[in-house]
Amino acid sequence: MPLNLIFMGTPEFSVATLKALHEAGHKIVAVYTQPPRPAGRRGLELTKSPVHQVAEELGIPVFTPVSLKSEEEQRRFRDLNADAAVVVAYGLLLPKPILEGTRLGAYNGHASLLPRWRGAAPIQRAIMAGDAETGMMIMKMDEGLDTGPVALTRVVKINPDMTAGELHDALKETGAALMVEAMAALASGDLRLTPQAGEGATYARKISKEETRIDWTRPGRDVHNHIRGLSPMPGAWCEMELGGRLERVKVLRSTRVDDMGGEPGEVLDDFLTVACGTGAVRLLELQRAGGKVVTAADFLRGAPVKKGQRIR
């Protein structure tokens, strides 16, 4: 039996779930998403979120409140008379009247194996911590931060060189299929909820600009996880002397080289292998300021980096 759903999401990660629910035959009575934001080189154009754009293509009414705390917004939400709300990376906290504003409650698609990595950046934090697996979970939302009871889980392996972007793409498809399954079970009265474990909770805080710089004094394992955990956005970076001046360079892909070593930041060969606190990493994809992402071989053709040079 199809449900009348309110969908709440903002980034491209959420789009797959919105489309999947629509294709499964559920009626999306409204979409809630973040308001249009400045974009473009000069930040002068207001750009609608990916979810906003897709909702309009599907002919679904869109609401973009800056807050859901007012009685007026809460009344409008209730007046939609939805069976349930589906939330995937929306970006606003849902007050209790919103959580209780549908017949069956609000259900969140979260990209981690809760209670590990509650919070804003679970994909990046899982990779940066060196986790071997993560997953998608569907939970019924309560007033806590990702603390509600869990309905369904799918585990996804994290390969040793997998980037956050690649894991993002795997999880968004997994999450879309899992939410369709959850809503089918909810419609038939078969959705079972299990309280989260009381131990093992970690918090996936938002990525800050201050932590994006590569610290070559850390072990090679940690440097590699840092690089891939921040790829493609916002991107880990370092400083190299190129053409006689110090230039900021993003590193988007790397691999570990445990049988080489040197002073932290030292270039060890002609293939951009860089020494860390222990071991080394080989840089595979890089991006100069204002340039395209290129392979290490192409980068070296345009910006020679010699063995023995120090990278900061």
Q: Which residues are annotated as a binding site?
A: 112-115
Question: At 115, which amino acid appears?
Answer: P
Specify binding-site residues for (6S)-5,6,7,8-tetrahydrofolate: 112-115
Of 79, 48, 72, 46, residue with least CA distance to 62: 48
Whether the CB-CB separation of 55 and 31 falls below 8 Å is answered with yes
Whether the CB-CB separation of 181 and 211 falls below 8 Å is answered with no
Structure tokens at 176: 């879309």
Question: At 22, which amino acid appears?
Answer: H
The Cα angle at residue 300 between residues 295 and 305, in degrees rounded to 5: 130
List, in sequence order, every beta strand (DSSP E) within 89-177: 106-110, 118-119, 133-140, 150-157
Structure tokens at 89: 């990376």
- Name residues whose C-beta falls within 8 Å of residue 154's C-beta, 6 or more positions apart in sequence: 135, 136, 174, 175, 177, 178
Structure tokens at 129: 């911590």
Q: What is the DSSP string of 173-232?
A: HHHHHHHHHHHHHHHHT----BPPPSS---EEPPPPGGG-B--TTS-HHHHHHHHHHTTT
Distances in Å between the Cα of 153 and the Cα atoms of 110, 141, 173, 181, 226 are 10, 15, 13, 11, 26
Whether the CB-CB separation of 305 and 240 falls below 8 Å is answered with yes
Whose structure tokens read 């190129």?
A: 242
